[in-house]
Structure formats: C-alpha cells, structure tokens
C-alpha cells in the first residue's frame, strides 16, 4: 500500500505495443528487444491496443513460464488503464474490506468463487442478516466521459445477471460491480451496440439487483488513488430508448490487391487495394442486415452487394439508435478517409458517397475509434455532458 493508494503490481517495465496475434498474446518493444507477453484479457481492446501504445509489463514470477512477461496495463492519454482481469477481484476485495464501495458498506467477504444454482459468482458477502452474491466485471471500454460494458458479446455475463435477479429475494441479494478503469468517466451504460441481449438483461434486472458502476484511477506506479473513487450515473431511459435492433452500421471490407468490379448501375469501377468502409442502415432487423453482408451467396441488389463479391469481409460495427444517423456518420467518415467512391450507396439521399477507402486498417487508427465512440457513446449516452469529439 502506498500513500493514499493500493498497489497490486511489482517489477513493472514499460514497453510499446506492436501486435496481438491472438487473444492472450501480445508482442511489445522493450528497449531494443521485441518480447512476447501474456495478455490476461479476452476483450477486443481495439481502441486501447493501438500501434506504439505504452504497455506496462510485469515480470513473470515463475522463470519456467513460456512468456516472461504479463501485460497488465496500457496508457491512454497519459493515464494507466488496468487490463489484468485476473486481478480485478483482488481490487474489488480490497475495496470491500476498506468499505470504499457505495452500496456495499458494512458488507464482509465470506467466500470467493462461490457456486449457486447454475453459475459461479465472484463473491459471497454478508451484511447483518443479508447474504449478497456479487459478480465483478472489469470495464475497459470508454470514451472521454462515457464508459460501457462489454466490448465483446458475453453470454456468460448475461447469464450471471439473469441468475442474480432470480436469486434476489428476501434476505438474499444479487449485485454486479462494474470496475471502470478510467477515472474521467461520468456516466455508464451497457454496451447495447455490441451485445444487445446483455443490455436488455441488465435493463430488465435493474429493479431486482444492485448495479454499481464504480470508476477508479490508476497512478503511473500502478497503485489506485483511493481519493478518486466514485459511482457513476446510468441513463436508463436513454438506454432503453436506444437499445433496439435498428440503426446504422459501418461495414469494413478489405481488398488485398487492385481490382475492377461491376457495381450495378455505377458500372465498372477500379478499386485500389486497402480497406473500405461502407455506411448503411436498417430501420429494423439490423443484426440480419449485417449478417447478410457476411454472406457471399445472395441476390445482388444494393451497390454494396456487388462490392462484396470482390472484397473480403473484415468486420461490421453496429451503431444502434432510434435516430437516423446514416448520413451524419457517412460525412464524418468522409472527413478521416483517404478516398471515396462517388455515388456509391447514396441514391436515396443527398450525400456524395457512403463508401470510403483507407490505406491502413481503420481498427488500428485512433481517429476512426474516436469517431466510433462519438456515435456509440457520446452523442446519445453522454448528450447531457456536452461532449466534443
């Protein structure tokens, strides 16, 4: 423990992120060497693991381990963000013991990793005659002032929420603690763009279980500043309005070499190699629309169907919203893209194009992630904060 703080890591070195060949491995540049490190976090972390991002590496305690380092945190805007999901429960345990979690004051830990029903929960707590089953989630997805969870589909997380709601009756309570690894966050919401079912489950359970979105601040020595711990607001009305299967999407395709494609009424177009971002929308069944773009065998109808014949699927990013944001998003993508295809996908609007090209992978581009977070988080969830891109 440091002055007014808690420390959970030792023998930490600073390196720079190079690549992530699989979910649990990263390569980093440490001094003049390239080292391989274990990443104990299955999340996508796309907006955090950008090229040359500062990574905190902890030396392995076991010299026989295949990877000599563990990636425990990264820096964003000069502030550490803890990634080590296995240490999240240690953090929660320490904060509970020090009675620093609003809503859980007076509770004591009876057992960690406790089975009940069909699930295993992180903690069993006791407060007087109350028995509290607590599940802890580490939240590393955030814009400047809006935090969301999860960053990937979590069937397990949905099941935990549903079973905690069933358990909550009489003197038995259920609770979910979202440990938000970013002290600048002001509001929290379930990430309904990526995992609509988890968001629906959390909304449905909110009157039955205690939901605690708690932001914490990590210092550069990877200690927690105990003076900057706070519970965030959740704009439930906005979440319930937006969390539906409709809205816009950004479809990212890859063309590995220069190709010529016949694009319906647009005729033959030469496409340079690179990444292409198509902005579309669906007033209902957004998930099915995106799934259609994954498939190659289908009747060709829209411009994008023709392009899909010669381009590889890279990813698709939904932006669920009750508002029609398609053209607004297209204009924003145009501002950061290298090139556009005039007239593509915009026959029913006044836009110059809905298809844009970037030489580099947009998922490795900070400007693209800023744009995505603006439309997914700040524009609606954080609208009362007067946030700016």
How confident is the model over 344-385, as pLDDT tens digits? 999 999 999 999 999 999 999 999 999 999 999 998 887 766
| Helix or strand (DSSP H, E) at 336 | helix 326-336
The pLDDT value recorded for residue 194 is 97
SS3 352: coil
2: pLDDT strictly greater than 60: no
Between 12 and 389, residue with greater pLDDT = 12
Spell out the domains of the chain, with CATH numbers in brackets: 5-77 (2.40.50.580), 85-242 (3.40.1350.60), 247-383 (no CATH)
Distances (CA, A) of 12 to 58, 74, 292: 4, 12, 46
pLDDT tens for each residue of 220-252: 999 999 999 999 999 999 999 999 999 999 999
The pLDDT value recorded for residue 137 is 98
The pLDDT value recorded for residue 387 is 45
Q: Which of 129-138, 298-307, 332-341 has the lowest mean pLDDT?
A: 298-307
Average pLDDT of the segment spanning 255-281: 96
* Chain centroid offset of residue 355 CA: 25
**Phi, psi for 252 (deg, rounded to 5):** -110, 120
Which tokens in the block code for residue 104?
A: 């859980």
Average pLDDT of the segment spanning 255-268: 96
The pLDDT value recorded for residue 381 is 81
Contacts of residue 109, defined as CB under 8 A and 6 or more positions apart, other chains included, come to: 93, 96, 97, 123, 124, 125
The pLDDT value recorded for residue 388 is 40
47: pLDDT strictly greater than 90: yes
pLDDT tens for each residue of 138-193: 999 999 999 999 999 999 999 999 999 999 999 999 999 999 999 999 999 999 99
Between 299 and 204, residue with greater pLDDT = 204
The pLDDT value recorded for residue 384 is 60
The structure's pTM equals 0.93
257: pLDDT strictly greater than 80: yes
SS3 146: strand
The pLDDT value recorded for residue 62 is 76
For the chain, give the mean pLDDT: 94
The pLDDT value recorded for residue 389 is 38
């Amino acid at each position: 423990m440091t002055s007014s703080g808690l420390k959970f890591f030792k023998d930490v070195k600073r390196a720079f992120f190079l690549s992530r060949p699989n979910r649990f491995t990263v390569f980093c540049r440490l001094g003049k060497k390239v080292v391989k490190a274990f990443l104990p976090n299955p999340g996508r972390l796309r907006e955090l693991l950008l090229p040359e991002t500062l990574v905190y590496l902890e030396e392995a305690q076991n010299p026989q381990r295949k990877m000599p380092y563990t990636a425990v945190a990264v820096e964003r805007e000069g502030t550490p963000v803890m990634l080590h999901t296995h240490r999240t429960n240690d953090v929660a345990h320490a904060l509970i013991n020090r009675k620093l979690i609003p809503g859980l004051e007076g509770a004591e830990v009876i057992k960690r990793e406790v089975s009940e029903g069909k699930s295993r929960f992180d903690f069993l707590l006791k407060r007087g005659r109350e028995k509290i089953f607590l599940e802890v989630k580490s939240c590393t997805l955030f814009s400047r002032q809006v935090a969301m969870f999860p960053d990937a589909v979590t069937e397990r997380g949905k099941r935990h929420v549903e079973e905690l709601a069933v358990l909550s009756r009489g003197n038995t309570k259920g609770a979910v603690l979202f440990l938000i690894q970013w002290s600048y966050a002001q509001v929290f919401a379930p990430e309904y763009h990526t995992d609509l079912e988890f968001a629906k489950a959390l909304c449905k359970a909110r009157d039955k279980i205690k939901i605690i979105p708690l932001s914490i601040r990590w210092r550069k020595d990877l200690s927690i500043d105990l003076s900057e711990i706070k519970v965030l607001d959740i704009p439930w009305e906005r979440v319930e309005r937006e969390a539906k299967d409709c809205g816009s999407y950004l479809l990212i395709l890859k063309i590995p070499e220069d190709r010529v494609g016949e694009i319906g009424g647009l005729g033959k177009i030469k496409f340079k190699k690179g990444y292409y971002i198509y902005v579309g929308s669906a007033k209902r069944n957004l998930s099915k629309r995106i799934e259609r773009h994954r498939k190659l065998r289908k009747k060709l109808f829209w411009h994008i169907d023709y392009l899909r014949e010669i381009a590889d699927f890279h990813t698709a990013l939904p932006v669920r919203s009750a508002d029609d944001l398609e053209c607004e998003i297209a204009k924003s993508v145009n501002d950061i893209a290298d090139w556009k295809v005039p007239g593509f996908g915009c026959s029913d609007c006044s836009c110059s194009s809905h298809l844009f090209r970037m030489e580099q992978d947009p998922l490795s581009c900070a400007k693209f992630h800023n744009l995505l977070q603006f439309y997914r988080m700040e524009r609606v969830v954080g609208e009362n904060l007067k946030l700016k891109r």
